[in-house]
A and B are shown apart, each in its own frame.
Chain A
Amino acid sequence: EVQLVQSGAEVKKPGESLKISCKGSGYSFSTYWIGWVRHMPGKGLEWMGIIYPDDSDTRYSPSFQGQVTISADKSISTAYLQWSSLKASDTAMYYCARHRSRYSSSFKDAFHIWGQGTMVTVSS
């Protein structure tokens, strides 16, 4: 079964760092683009960025560039989203999602397989 399994919910204080994970299984992890989507409480979905694990080619939304880091370790089929200094406004559900089609040339694509989401709460 193709699936993405995300790490568990996190509760952090402002200024703390955090790295959440997304582990793929049942497919060739390194040859599909995988991305991150933010869903703030009561708001819509926001596309944060995507990475191609095979060569770590990464594209960010300008809204998130410099605020987060997207990375991947293809040896363990895991993608990551990390913050160096969290803010209260980072409180949200974060989803990882995999593109439908294989290979780096297929970056124009929809998110087909989704993780279950990781809730990040930032509060003092």
Chain B
Amino acid sequence: DIQMTQSPSSVSASVGDRVTITCRASQGINNWLAWYQQKPGEAPKLLIYAASSLQSGVPSRFSGSASGTDFTLTITSLQPEDFATYYCQQANTFPFTFGQGTRLEIK
């Protein structure tokens, strides 16, 4: 299986801050990488697909980028509703594995 390693596992930030979350794939995944946001008691929500494409309806403060097997989710100007857990997922090779998650907490 392809291992997806997210960092950090948790991060504290304030409203208005810029936050970056990284996901590293154990082998090439041809940019088949998605980012999800999950809040307690809710289903995950798709934010980014194909490494850098913003899902319709998702605020533009969310962005994704890729460099080889390293992927980044950036949230600019954090809003109160952005405090949640974020997961990356590779969709290049079965099984399509998730990262372990990054919890974004209010400082």
Chain A residues in the interface with B (C-beta under 8 A)? 35, 37, 44-47, 49-50, 59-63, 95, 97, 100, 108-112, 114-117
Contact = CB atoms under 8 A, between A and B. Distances in A.
A112 B55 contact: yes
User: How would you classify the secondary structure of chain B's contact residues: helix, strand, loop or mixed?
Assistant: loop
A114 B99 contact: no
Contact of B46 (A45, A100, A116): A100
Contact of A59 (B50, B95, B99): B95
Interface of B: 1, 32, 34, 36, 38, 43-46, 49-50, 55, 87, 89, 91-92, 94-101
B43 A115 contact: yes
B46 A62 contact: no
B95 A49 contact: yes
22 contacts: A44-B101, A45-B38, A45-B44, A45-B87, A47-B95, A47-B96, A47-B97, A47-B98, A50-B96, A60-B95, A61-B1, A61-B94, A97-B44, A108-B92, A109-B49, A109-B91, A110-B34, A110-B91, A112-B46, A112-B49, A112-B55, A114-B43
A63 B98 CA distance: 13
A111 B95 contact: no
A114 B45 contact: yes
Contacts of B92: 108
Given A62-B1, A100-B49, A109-B49, A117 B91 contact: no
A2 B44 CA distance: 16
Contacts of B101: 44-45
Cβ-closest 10 pairs across A and B: A61-B95, A110-B34, A114-B43, A110-B49, A44-B101, A45-B98, A47-B96, A44-B100, A108-B32, A59-B94
B99 to A, nearest CB: 7
Nearest to B96: A47
Nearest to A45: B98
A44 B44 contact: no
Contact of B98 (A46, A115, A117): A46
Nearest to A93: B43
